[in-house]
A and B are shown apart, each in its own frame.
Chain A
């Protein structure tokens, strides 16, 4: 049994709202009272690309959910699109646990980025959203301007998180702290200035979008 399966089973055993059993390889089955069973793949990869997503779908008949167990797991936009088109939920272990309880594992997206993704898509000034990664969106505004936005979900984004986002995903125009209770550290703002981007919360971003 691989390490991520051990952690996943131990976590379900501890939480007690759902139970889980090992099916084989990277696959577990989650049972929750009055909810459909969930067949989930728990992957240890650091990046989920479309090939990884397709491999799990082809190998596991009836797959409901693909879970990236590592906290730093990154999902490429093409993988997200592939999974959503094939009615497979995707995201973190926390997303999987919530989806099993809610009974919507086939359609659940990564809960960390769910609301910020929706906010951008529903904002009137935004004409087009191209999701490059789970946390990187290139948006086109009705006026024609484009902005590349990177999301950081932490409560207190640090300079390291801003620099790491830039190093991993390339230049962005805006780093959006999507945690509604979050406060970027002064060092994070300074790191953004040095790199050539702005670190902001939703109210500032909304203002920026309305003026762009």
Chain B
């Protein structure tokens, strides 16, 4: 997965790297609110919990295809919610979900720091 082999944990993508990978691979994500939550935010988890909030129908079918491709070598665990379901459950606040865009931005910032 693009890292030098060391211990198994060292060779796995970080939360920020996963966010960059998903945003770069799944163009349909621009139509949805996408978050990460769970243990991957604290390091390595058994799987990578992703929340997708947005409309059902054909756009969702397309997004699922893209995520399936993007997750070929990742243990993605994806929860899809309609906006009303997220409002009922307050899932984003309750599970302390972080937008993928924020995670990706932090990855890009750290790369810039490394370059200088």
A interface, CB within 8 angstroms of B: 1-7, 9-11, 13-14, 69-72, 93-94, 154, 156, 158-161, 163, 185-187
Partner of B82, one of A2, A13, A14, A159: A159
Interface size on B, residues (CB 8 A): 28
A14-B43, A156-B89 provided; 19 other pairs, C-beta below 8 A? A1-B5, A2-B73, A3-B73, A3-B74, A3-B75, A7-B8, A7-B46, A7-B47, A9-B8, A10-B7, A11-B44, A13-B8, A70-B75, A71-B76, A158-B79, A158-B81, A158-B82, A160-B82, A161-B80
What residue in chain B is nearest A4 (Cβ atoms)? Answer: B75
Partner of B85, one of A1, A10, A159: A159
- Asked whether any CB of chain A lies closer than 8 Å to the CB of B93, the reply is no
Cβ–Cβ < 8 Å partners of B76 in chain A: 71
| Contacts of B1-51 to chain A: CB distance below 8 A | 1, 5, 7-9, 11-12, 43-47
B interface, CB within 8 angstroms of A: 1, 5, 7-9, 11-12, 43-47, 56, 60, 73-77, 79-82, 84-85, 88-89, 91
Cβ–Cβ < 8 Å partners of B1 in chain A: 3, 6
Cβ–Cβ < 8 Å partners of A158 in chain B: 79-82, 85
A-B contact count (CB 8 A): 71
Partner of A7, one of B60, B75, B80, B91: B75
